[in-house]
Chains A and B, each alone.
Chain A
Amino acid sequence: MTDDTGAMSIDFLIGFTIFMLAFIWVATMIPGLFIGIQSHTIDFDAVAYRTGVILAEDPGDVGSLATAGIPWELQSNPSQYPDKIARFGLAVSKDTPGILDETKVDRFFNTTEFVYPTDYQKWAIFGDFPYRFNISLKEEGKDTIRSVGDIIPVSYPYGYIRRDVKIRSGSNTTIGETMIKTYHYNNTEEVFNHRFSIMINTSSLLFDDVGMLKSPTGDAAYRLNPMRDRIIINITDFDKMPEPLKPGTTKSVSNVQFYTRSYGKSTLDPLPAVSPSGFLYMDGETTAVPAFPAAFSNGISMVFEPGFFNTIGDIGTDDTIFIYLTFTVNQKQQFLNNTHTEPFPYDYNPVNVTQPELTDAVIEVAIW
């Protein structure tokens, strides 16, 4: 009986060691078992797919506090009033899956305005689980990658989807020598003040045929909406109209006025005066001019940011917008002037306006 304890102890040690070895081996196997299956089993791929669909095929939606008639990408100050936005979505319209609006893309990737991750989880990812994610977009022919989110993990898998899309740019026009001569914008009296008018027929842009494309078959992707899209109007070749200006001529924009004409009426209603600091650029400079009159040497640009025409007044979808530019020259002479001809039409004619271009792009969504 005296050495019983010793024999029992060795037996116990051997038995327990065998058990522990097996247990440790199995225990170390379990995390590997989980990780290997995790990304493909938990709903990361499903969430990535859903987010991809929302971004690529949905135009997004506004919430209960939103300003009426304005899409989510033009709602101001959503960080203070989160209920202004219900859902991000980058598509031009619900009829154009895969065609993204440049304005929406710009706003979506504006990470100084929207907070990562909470805002994106609320409006693009959805779900109660605080998913981490990375959404990136690359436009064909551009070097920059736009992205929002964390760095994609390299050590473990994640849910993933890729969408091939197109991004629709805004439209622009450059009124130069050819157009001025074609439309006889130079055939004027010799005076100091000249007026040049531009017409944006909202109802025609919204409801007429777009180039070759007749409504309702596939025109939505190319449609211009002056209330939503960026419009750029450049005017150049001032020194060639119709022949070189008199030596020593100085020229300036002394005013830009906005008018609307309601459907079926012939009278113009003036809109409130707008400071040129919001849209008028001289000679290719990057800062807008602060006030009228604004002198320039060879070219002016008017850049109407998306939503510009919503902010200057109550313009309906049936109204036509007129932009009246007044130029002042210091010597009486002919100049850019269409008082006696027609206003320049901002329309779907590719001769007048460089139409929106769709460029290839790819979106990647990673969720983990």
Chain B
Amino acid sequence: MVNDDGQLYTIEGVAAALILLLTAYMVVNSTSVYTAGDTHISDMQLEVVGDDALKMMNTAPNSSVDKTSLQTIVETGDSAQFRTMFDTIVNAKTGTDRDRIQFMANVTCERDGVVSSVPLSESSHMFAGGEHAVRVSEWVIVDSSDCTDPSSGKHAVLVEALVWRD
């Protein structure tokens, strides 16, 4: 006795399973196009904290201080001081652990009518080019710096920092 619809359930089962798996595969593929990095949320967080850190460095601790730390650092080109201070502020967390934000800062100014930059400081992990970095900046008015015209007088310069997590 041959029954030719004997394998029908099996075939349909396999077909249904194939459809399911194919759909799941497509769903996983299509949603994983957007990952956390692609949504720029980590960029936003980096930008906020980097901006804050530069701003706090450019805030005097009390009204008797006539120059902020950032002004002094730019005027003297004190790379080590910038590294210590920025690292302390930008990587601070409320817990005992610390963040791993790396940075590379330079000073941008106008010299002889041309906008140019000179490096100011960088963290222990050098910028290799592959990192996903965001740029933050802070305006400072300085009396002199490595960047501006050596002529006397005050200048507006922009301290820019690339920040990234390694």
Contact = CB atoms under 8 A, between A and B. Distances in A.
B20 A26 contact: yes
Contacts of A161: 45, 48
Interface string A349-362: 01000011111101
Nearest to B64: A350
B158 interface: no
A45 B48 CA distance: 13
Contacts of A350: 62-64
B12 A162 contact: no
Given A164-B49, A164-B52, A360 B94 contact: no
B31 interface: yes
Q: Chain A contact residues: over half helix, strand or loop, or mixed?
A: mixed
B56 interface: yes
Contacts of B6: 7-8, 11
B63 A162 contact: no
Contacts of B3: 4, 7
B125 interface: no
Interface residues of B, number: 50
B16 interface: yes
A359 B61 contact: yes
Contacts of A219: 63
Interface stretch (B21-29, B76-84, B148-156): B21-29
Interface stretch (B36-44, B105-113, B116-124): B36-44
Interface of B: 1, 3, 6-14, 16-18, 20-21, 23-24, 27-28, 31, 34-36, 39, 41, 44-45, 48-49, 52-53, 55-56, 59-66, 88-90, 92-95, 99
Interface of A: 1, 3-4, 7-8, 11-19, 21-23, 25-26, 29, 33, 37, 40-41, 45, 49, 52, 56, 97-99, 136-138, 140, 145, 147, 160-166, 210-213, 219, 221-222, 348, 350, 355-360, 362-364
